[in-house]
Amino acid sequence: MEFRDLKRQYQLHRQAIDTAVQEVVRETHFISGPQVGQLEDRLAAYVGVKHCVACGNGTDALQLALMTWEVGVGDAVFIPDFTFFSSGEVVPLVGAVPVFVDVDAETFNIDCESLENAIEYILHHTQLVPRAVVAVDLFGQPAEYDRIREITERYGMFLLEDAAQSFGGLLGDCRACSLGDISTTSFFPSKPLGCYGDGGAVFTDNDEWAERLRSLHVHGKGRDKYDNVRIGLNSRLDTLQAAVLLAKMEFFEAELAASQQVAEQYTMRLKDVVQTPRILDDRQSAWAQYTVCLKDSEERSRVAVYMREVGIPSMVYYKKPMHLQEAFIGKQVKAVSCAMTEKLCGKCLSLPFHPYLEEEMIEEVCACVLKGVSNG
Ligand SMILES: *Cc1c(COP(=O)(O)O)cnc(C)c1O
């Protein structure tokens, strides 16, 4: 069994993907080919924002957003403690200070009370200026943007949506990637919309920021490529990746619907056994991961071992709270307790998940979970 079955997806859509790739190879317009602009238009329309700037990966996308706002030395940026390293990594990269905030026990997304406490701490106990919140849509579910936006507006901060895991997700009628002042995503192969290498994109409704993003992602270009008006990055999405993504957009909605079915199957079988994902009423997850919580780390190990014995992979997203990562020693300000994140890191387990997972396979996975739980 595959954790995320990309081979199956390719087999099913081989003709469309091969045709798209061959066209790029024939035309040899490998950088900034016409497919890149087509993809940007397509994604902007899908998400419902004015501008999409495709770039090299989801990490660069986050950095480009912070560079656009000129977040840097003397600034504090707030990030959930339970996320992938990138969400926090980009903050010291631009010279700012990361402040990690606790998450909600059930949605795993940023806890607004903890966020507000952290902002107040920074205001009253440091010289730093609270500048931005990185709200992560963890495992595919959009965070609590109504409350987060109220907070960022009250304190005059920027709201950056890290939608690397939630492309395709919904909050009410609004797509993930439209929920921040700037929103970013990743097309890493295992994300909900994945390409065949690294890729990412930045979304915004703001014309001025969009223009700056277009410059920043190509060496801070001015009127043309050899006129440089600012220090930027070399972070373009290449034409091959854009072509693959355009082909995949044709069946993306069908994949989302299939993922929803798989999630419902899992939940039906597991909801009385373990803590299954809680998706809030007005939301739809893009299901980057299906993550359950066991009683403790012993129970989690038992389940993982039973799965491994029958050839079923599982993953722990995430093993370590961000504030405990060695890389942030001496680079962060500790403002609030992140006790919930510490707990979750010890008991969460992500199960094999993709739109093509069949009922028999789901049953097999659930049998291992049951066995691990009942043999405690
Ligand atoms: C994957 C991921 C990223 C980074 O994306 P890359 O394309 O791998 O650079 C950032 N944030 C989160 C939450 C992610 O899951």
Q: How far is the CA of 200 from the centre of ligand 1 (A)?
A: 9
Q: How far is the CA of 81 from the centre of ligand 1 (A)?
A: 15
How much is the average pLDDT of 17-42? 98
Q: Which of 344, 350, 342, 340 is nearest to 324 (CA)?
A: 342
Q: Are strands 283-284 and 170-171 parallel, antiparallel or unpaired?
A: antiparallel
Q: Report the predicted TM-score, pTM, of the whole model to 2 decimal places.
A: 0.98
- For residue 225, the model assigns a pLDDT of 78
Query: Residue 182: which H helix or E strand, with range?
Result: strand 182-186
Instruction: Give residue ranges with CB within 6 A of ligand 1.
Output: 57-59, 83-84, 86-87, 136, 162, 164-165, 186, 188, 198, 200
Rounded Cα gap, residues 159 and 344, in angstroms: 25
Residue 219 has pLDDT above 80, yes or no: yes
Q: How far is the CA of 164 from the centre of ligand 1 (A)?
A: 5
Q: How far is the CA of 300 from the centre of ligand 1 (A)?
A: 25
For ligand 1, atom 5, the nearest C-alpha belongs to 58
Q: How far is the CA of 33 from the centre of ligand 1 (A)?
A: 25
How much is the average pLDDT of 264-284? 97
Asked whether the beta carbons of 124 and 103 are under 8 A apart, the reply is no
Q: How far is the CA of 64 from the centre of ligand 1 (A)?
A: 14
- For residue 136, the model assigns a pLDDT of 98
Task: Categorize the per-residue pLDDT at 187 as very low, low, confident or very high, splitting at 50, 70 and 90.
Answer: very high
Q: Which atom of ligand 1 is nearest to the CA of 188?
A: 7
Mutate to test the pocket of ligand 1, among 85, 103, 162, 289 (most ligand atoms within 8 A of CB): 162
Task: Categorize the per-residue pLDDT at 251 as very low, low, confident or very high, splitting at 50, 70 and 90.
Answer: very high
Q: How far is the CA of 97 from the centre of ligand 1 (A)?
A: 19
Residue 316, judged by CB atoms within 10 A of its CB (0-12, 13-18, 19+), counts as middle
Which runs of consecutive H residues, i.e. helices, occur in the chain?
6-12, 14-27, 34-47, 58-68, 86-93, 112-125, 145-155, 207-216, 239-270, 297-309, 339-347, 359-374
For ligand 1, atom 1, the nearest C-alpha belongs to 164
For ligand 1, atom 10, the nearest C-alpha belongs to 86
How much is the average pLDDT of 289-298? 97
Q: Which of 214-228, 307-321, 330-344 has the lowest mean pLDDT?
A: 214-228
Could you tell me the two tokens for 328? 């942030």
Residue 106 has pLDDT above 90, yes or no: yes
3 state SS of 134:
strand
Q: Which atom of ligand 1 is nearest to the CA of 137?
A: 13
Rounded Cα gap, residues 114 and 135, in angstroms: 13
Cβ neighbors of 235 (< 8 A, separation 6 or more) are: 55, 56, 57, 60, 64, 200, 217
Task: Categorize the per-residue pLDDT at 210 as very low, low, confident or very high, splitting at 50, 70 and 90.
Answer: very high
For ligand 1, atom 6, the nearest C-alpha belongs to 58
How much is the average pLDDT of 123-139? 98
How much is the average pLDDT of 43-63? 98
Task: Categorize the per-residue pLDDT at 223 as very low, low, confident or very high, splitting at 50, 70 and 90.
Answer: confident
Q: How far is the CA of 197 from the centre of ligand 1 (A)?
A: 13
Task: Categorize the per-residue pLDDT at 224 as very low, low, confident or very high, splitting at 50, 70 and 90.
Answer: confident
The percent of residues in the chain predicted with pLDDT above 70, rounded, is: 100
Q: Which atom of ligand 1 is nearest to the CA of 198?
A: 7
Q: How far is the CA of 256 from the centre of ligand 1 (A)?
A: 19
Asked whether the beta carbons of 263 and 287 are under 8 A apart, the reply is yes
Query: Residue 201: which H helix or E strand, with range?
Result: strand 200-204
Residue 376 has pLDDT above 80, yes or no: no
For ligand 1, atom 14, the nearest C-alpha belongs to 164
Geometric angle at alpha carbon 9, from 5 and 12, rounded to 5°: 140
Mutate to test the pocket of ligand 1, among 59, 196, 233, 238 (most ligand atoms within 8 A of CB): 59
Q: What is the pLDDT of residues 310-329, one digit of tens each?
A: 999 999 999 999 999 999 99
Residue 136: strand pairing partners: 162
Q: What is the pLDDT of residues 339-357, one digit of tens each?
A: 999 999 999 999 999 999 9
- Distance from chain centroid for Cα 121: 27
